[in-house]
Structure 1
């Protein structure tokens, strides 16, 4: 067996920056790297374990006996390093850590770039990431376009259950690069959001309880195969958002918990570290080395894998020291409050750093709190995200849609309240995986009424969702009205597409998606109060709302009419702002979408009959539980020259 030699080529400046919380590409220093030392080729291992008595590298190459592969502690940095010649990519390894109290631990590498397939837990020396990218046009476009004024219609995906071949028989990243990307493009989505891809031991955690933050899960293949998937998305004009979990990590022995025998990642205050709701541990956001670790991880996914943005999970649990904690675990900040000031500072620094390196990135907060200015710049006192999930809108609307329509007149505020705060942040309207699991029922099954009425209500709901201000996100299976809850161990119920009701819903969602893309009025001014106007907000008795969405051009607008009641209305008059022709771009009750109308008129013409405070008006037939979108088509004809047909 070759005798290992110590690697002294580490940059002392990089280690200093790491200790100070300022090494934002620490994945280039830490972990296992194939390098040349003198005339020898091998692997350099580097790990942070400041309170360890000794650290060794063990693996199949030394029969898991690290006596000849002891690492050297570099000064007072808490960093250990070792160069082992002749090792190659594919080598599996762990760190053998001897604690100051005499215990021996076997730990996976926190900076591992590849991991064994569970239930095995060792790290893997990865191949060099010399992937040939073909997404230059996409990267240039990101720099030129503003995400606030662009369409953003996101398809949320769990790769293990979108398609699979059976229990634990997953499609690879590379296979997804064909089938999934083709499907997303055909359906009209602009982005894919992937549930966490960081390595995790338990399938049922969906990646939210990680052990390998730099390691794409091996369930679906290799890191290079993931790069291929992202590259294919970009070549087809699809952005990729990664669900990212910096708030907490799992307690498995091979992971970050008590990494060197002491709480270096979770911090010394066990009350603050414990996350009893999830059985996990919170990161110590005040620790400078943890800051280097986490911020580097965010940069890593964008730098190495070309990920376009991060949906930052559970922000509310990060910034609230009392979030879902029993009385005995409550702690307070230095000012006596429950705000986690370390987490708040961390999030600001995270966003500042990401945008410094990647100005076109998406940083999306999944935040259920009422914390103000989440999407305001840090120099204005905000947290610095550029988007936030609108959990209030989602909760109100799902509650409203579950009501018997005969009772909705008493709860009209549930569909109108969101417009009081719709422009206080840059919002995404999420219909995510969290709403279709754990007994919450699928979106279709949340709707009230008979089987047919459920489909009509879901079409109506989707229409209102798509035309309400804010970017959009829909979890897989929702596009055809999957009746059962999401089953994470099985693939989606694709066979439902053979049934008329679900096939019609699928056609409707596809048509709705493409109408969204074609109408700039639905997204150009999502973050601008001038992009929305109520036409009729007060008709609670009939459960009808009418509103306007405006684009940048003066004559570019859409009129939205939603009837949330069981009653249909003929010749229902609505006010409109301009004379001329209005094209019915989409009607949820068209027979092609599973509705009752075999003949939907293509256009309507306004009359010079003021209504709803507008100079002109149109009359429409409103079927029960229906959505209509009319798009203004500028005409030379004056209102009085045409009568509404």
Structure 2
């Protein structure tokens, strides 16, 4: 990556057109040499300021002798003999002669909180070792490949004995190997852009181009990503273009006027989160946001972005009271500028990174989220299926007597499984704020039933069409809500039932990754076939998952009731032999040990609309996967 010097006329033109997609190369602070003198060039967009000065550790935080000059709305200043590591801010003098300090919107590094100064930092010079990973990625890699994501909040995955954070370099050793051993294909990192408050989890950003200093330096983070790639693990980052926080040193009223946010407070403020909303109609804001998305891919080799709070970008009235509602020029409540931004974002990202993962965290029913921009869609390649998440968890809270009449709540997601390219997430939002952990949500008379319920739910998710995501701690049965201010309760692994559950999740993950039938046709309804869906009285949800080669198919049988079924007759697609290849009721997982350990031979005995059938045992509160064994020759 090569940074350029002061902005050229062409660069400024593109910035003001909303098509400057590498604005970080000239805005911000950059080490450079002029007339054989090394120094730092500063550049900041602040078109409505009366004056901007550079204030920092080098001038006693008095910018009066380091005044910047303005051209095309961008203020610049070259300061000779300054070096990397210099702390600085911009001293903004408003048209009303107010004066305050702002962090650099394009800073590559910032002070550790509670400090808020920007730090002059070069991102050049890191020698990447992930060429093999980059070479093996293709534009269709993930639609027809397994995608199993481990969502992580780095600040609370583990903590040291004194309560301090693990560093990027320490996590590169410990976390990456943990994820690899447990069968995940990707790590998704909760927001890493610099933010002022640990308790915000990173969703209220102040410095979009700064990887948080809580865990180390920018090059330390490069090494973390590099290590992931060398081990065959992809990296997705939670990205927050929907809003930014109001902290005084951040983007809010940056030059004394609403610059990054909408000027109309009805559009420019999110009443629920107490944050500002980006002005998606302003070209320079589009250049800022799209440059930022590309920056994480250009500089840090990030494989994709989970775009947070898409619904709030799509509508003008997200969480707004009825009396405060506003409309667009056509009388609707769609944010037409927000929609256009998302389409432009995805079009630009995929034009440069056709193999990127762009995932919409969207709770709305907006159509075509994963349809191409050319066909009127938003252009993402995945959407979180939050309806699946909420409905399955509500079903699992129900007791046995209630489940038969509520089965549609569990299975309705199968009817629309191909409306979008979906990810099925059991994410951090499901285990916080007194909502209980996933294990805590399970109904049951005792711990055995609760663990069994969670095993069958996870297996149902693995069998259900769509890619998968699981938040940290849920892989070993965390019992309490997630607490972002302390480490996960790793001590639970001292107890046998949690050890057994962790072993189940690891085996389930590897089973999923190894079976083409569970992911090769995720995006195609031809890869799925229901069985016995008309009977809602037995607690069974059964279906066939197929690979492109139809001989490579699996039958998933999920029993959501406590009654086991001995000698159950099951209709099958083809005559021949079948074998149980996965069973969540194994004794080693803490189950009751009802398994099918012999080959299951089909009979010409019609059942469930199929000419052939097999007989098997179905354990209580468990899932069984049966695989067709093609005849040799």
2:13 corresponds to: 16
Tell me the distance in 2 between the aligned counterparts of 1:148 and 1:419: 18
Shift of the 126–601 alpha-carbon distance from structure 1 to 2, 3 Å rule, reads same
Match for residue 258 of structure 1 among 250, 253, 257: 253
1:222 corresponds to: 217
Q: Is the 8 A contact 2:236 2:302 kept in 1?
A: yes
Q: Is the 8 A contact 1:274 1:281 kept in 2?
A: yes
| Residues 405-438 of structure 1: per-residue CA shift (max 9 Å, x gap) | 2211111111221111110100000000010001
Q: What's the CA shift for 1:18?
A: 0.3
Tell me the distance in 1 between the aligned counterparts of 2:602 and 2:190: 47
Q: What's the CA shift for 1:567?
A: 1.4
Tell me the distance in 1 between the aligned counterparts of 2:581 and 2:84: 56
1:605 corresponds to: 601
Shift of the 213–581 alpha-carbon distance from structure 1 to 2, 3 Å rule, reads same
SS at the partner of 1:10? Answer: coil
Q: Which deviates more, 622-631 or 305-314? A: 622-631
| Residues 144-180 of structure 1: per-residue CA shift (max 9 Å, x gap) | 6521001000000000011111575100111111100
Tell me the distance in 2 between the aligned counterparts of 1:80 and 1:525: 53
Q: Is the 8 A contact 1:607 1:617 kept in 2?
A: yes
1:617 corresponds to: 613
Q: Is the 8 A contact 1:34 1:128 kept in 2?
A: no
Shift of the 404–598 alpha-carbon distance from structure 1 to 2, 3 Å rule, reads closer
Tell me the distance in 2 between the aligned counterparts of 1:10 and 1:322: 38
| Residues 562-605 of structure 1: per-residue CA shift (max 9 Å, x gap) | 11112122111110111222121111111000001176515322
List gaps (5 residues or longer) in structure 2.
Answer: none
Shift of the 625–268 alpha-carbon distance from structure 1 to 2, 3 Å rule, reads same
Tell me the distance in 2 between the aligned counterparts of 1:156 and 1:492: 13
SS at the partner of 2:31? Answer: strand
| Residues 189-240 of structure 1: per-residue CA shift (max 9 Å, x gap) | 0000000000000001100000010000000000000000000000111100
The two structures have a TM-score, normalised by structure 2, of: 0.98
| Residues 541-573 of structure 1: per-residue CA shift (max 9 Å, x gap) | 111111000001120100000111121221111
Shift of the 8–200 alpha-carbon distance from structure 1 to 2, 3 Å rule, reads closer
Alignment of 1:146-225 (within 5 A): 146-166=141-161, 169-225=164-220
Shift of the 30–166 alpha-carbon distance from structure 1 to 2, 3 Å rule, reads farther
SS at the partner of 2:561? Answer: coil
Matched, 1:39 2:26: no
| Residues 377-432 of structure 1: per-residue CA shift (max 9 Å, x gap) | 00001000000000111111001111002211111111221111110100000000
Q: Is the 8 A contact 2:6 2:76 kept in 1?
A: no
Q: Is the 8 A contact 1:200 1:211 kept in 2?
A: yes
Shift of the 167–98 alpha-carbon distance from structure 1 to 2, 3 Å rule, reads farther
SS at the partner of 2:513? Answer: helix
2:565 corresponds to: 569
Q: Is the 8 A contact 1:387 1:428 kept in 2?
A: yes
Matched, 1:635 2:628: no
Tell me the distance in 2 between the aligned counterparts of 1:593 and 1:315: 38
Match for residue 348 of structure 1 among 343, 348, 372: 343
2:385 corresponds to: 390
1:136 corresponds to: 131
Matched, 1:583 2:588: no
Match for residue 244 of structure 1 among 239, 247, 252: 239
Matched, 1:526 2:522: yes
Q: What's the CA shift for 1:331?
A: 1.8
Q: Is the 8 A contact 2:595 2:619 kept in 1?
A: no
Q: Is the 8 A contact 1:364 1:386 kept in 2?
A: yes
Shift of the 636–133 alpha-carbon distance from structure 1 to 2, 3 Å rule, reads closer
Match for residue 234 of structure 1 among 229, 232, 235: 229
SS at the partner of 2:395? Answer: helix
Tell me the distance in 2 between the aligned counterparts of 1:351 and 1:626: 40
Alignment of 1:29-428 (within 5 A): 29-74=26-71, 77-143=72-138, 145-166=140-161, 169-428=164-423
Tell me the distance in 1 between the aligned counterparts of 2:523 and 2:105: 39
Q: Is the 8 A contact 1:240 1:309 kept in 2?
A: yes
The two structures have a TM-score, normalised by structure 1, of: 0.96
1:27 corresponds to: 24
Tell me the distance in 2 between the aligned counterparts of 1:203 and 1:605: 57
Tell me the distance in 2 between the aligned counterparts of 1:283 and 1:166: 40
Tell me the distance in 2 between the aligned counterparts of 1:636 and 1:173: 50
1:540 corresponds to: 536
Q: What's the CA shift for 1:8?
A: 8.7
Tell me the distance in 1 between the aligned counterparts of 2:161 and 2:372: 46
- Cα RMSD (Å): 1.3
2:454 corresponds to: 458
Q: Is the 8 A contact 2:139 2:354 kept in 1?
A: no
Matched, 1:495 2:491: yes
| Residues 299-348 of structure 1: per-residue CA shift (max 9 Å, x gap) | 00000000000000000011111110123532211111100000000000
List gaps (5 residues or longer) in structure 1.
Answer: 1-6, 638-645
